[in-house]
Amino acid sequence: MVDMTNDGKAICNISNECERVACLIHEYLDKAIDDDTCRFIQTHLATCPHCLGKFDFEHELRGTIRKCVCSAPLPADLKSRICKAIAKEA
């Protein structure tokens, strides 16, 4: 549910839509949802500063983690150790 402030800015009261967006935000960031759900989330984020703030935080956090992980050197034998561990589990 979205209300308007006196200066015309939209504010979001926590609603069922907000709860649904919160539950789906990771799938949205992973691009693992259908087109209709994607449009629903985009429309909601465009009108709900509260949820947009949460989305922005998650998006930035993923970017920070990606930078840290991608810049760290990996051990040369990592791939073979992972393959061996997977083979043991199978």
d(CA 12, CA 38): 19
For the beta carbon of residue 81, count every other beta carbon within 10 angstroms.
Answer: 10
pTM, two decimals, is: 0.62
The per-residue pLDDT for 10 is 45
Look up residue 24 and give its two tokens: 């789906």
Q: What is the pLDDT of residues 28-54, one digit of tens each?
A: 999 998 999 999 999 999 999 999 999
d(CA 14, CA 70): 36
Residues of the chain with pLDDT under 50: 1-4, 9-10, 12
8 torsion bin: left (phi>0), alpha (psi -120 to 50), beta (else)? left
The per-residue pLDDT for 2 is 45
Burial pattern 36-47, b for ≥16 Cβ within 10 A else e, equals eeeebbeebbee
Look up residue 58 and give its two tokens: 């998650």
Do 66 and 20 meet the contact criterion of CB atoms below 8 Å apart? no
